[in-house]
Amino acid sequence: MPNAPQPLAADLARAQSPADFHHALRAALGRVDQLGAQTVAASGVKLACCAGCGLCCTLRVDVFAHEVFLVADHIRTHFSAAERAALTVRLAAHAERVRPLTPFEHATQNVTCPLLRDSRCSVYAARPHTCRRHHSQDFAACQFTYDHPTDLDFPGAHDRALFRTLTEAMRQGAEVYAQLGYDATIYELGTALAEALASPASWRRWRAQKKAFRHASETPAE
C-alpha cells in the first residue's frame, strides 16, 4: 500500500508560503513517481510511453486546485515572457472551446492540452497526478483511442496493477488535502490554469479553504 501521503500531511502542516506548499506537492509527486517506477521494475511490465509521444495529451485532464497552482508556479519560474504570452492565447482558446462542453463531450473530442509543445509536455516536472498515472503498454491502442475518441468500450492497454497502485496513491494524496480543509473540487486543467495565471485571488481563496476557481470547467465527483 502506498505511503506517500503521510509525509505530505506533515509537509503541508508546516507550510506557510506558496513556495512551501509547492515544495510539499513536488515532493509528494516525486514519491508517487518513485512508487510507479518500483511497481514497473517489480512486475517487469513494458511501457510504450516515451518522450515525444503525446497522443494521449488530447484526453481531458482532471486535477485538484493545488496541482493547478504548482503548474502555474512552474510556468512563472520557467517560461519566458514570450512563452507565457503564447500560452495565454492558447489557454484562452482552450477555455472558449472547453467551457461549453460537458466533461464527457470534452473527453471524446481530442482537445489537445494547451501545455503540449512539439509533442512534449512543457510543464513535465510539474505535471498533475492524472498525467503521471496515465500509461500504455501498446501505442497502437492509444492510436485507436485517438482515432475513435467516442469508443469508450475499447479496452485500454494500461497495466492494471500499476494503474491501481497509482490511483490509490492519488486518492490518498487528495484525501490529505481534503482533510486539511482544502478545495476538493475536480477541475479541468486548462480552464483552471487560465484562471490561476490571470487571477491571484484564486490562490488566496484556496488558502482560505474556499473554492479556488470560479470559471473553470468542473468534473462532478463520482
User: Which residues make up the interface to ligand SF4 (CB under 6 A)?
Assistant: 48-49, 53, 55-57, 61, 113, 115-116, 121, 123, 127, 131, 134-136, 139, 142
Beta-bridged to residue 51, according to DSSP, are none
Q: Which is nearer to ligand SF4, 22 or 127 (CB)?
A: 127
Cβ at position 190, least distance to ligand SF4 in Å = 8
Nearer to ligand SF4, 104 or 146 (CB): 146
Shortest Cβ 82–ligand SF4 spacing (Å): 19
CB closer to ligand SF4 out of 86 and 116: 116
Alpha-helix residue ranges (DSSP H) falling in 180-211: 189-198, 200-207
Which residue, 9 or 123, has its beta carbon nearer to ligand SF4? 123
Cα 150 to the center of its chain, rounded Å: 22
C-alpha cell belonging to residue 157: 492497454
- Catalogue the E-assigned strands of the chain: 62-63, 116-117, 120-121, 187-188
Smallest separation (angstroms) from ligand SF4 to the CB of 108: 16
Residue 77 parent element (H or E): helix 65-78
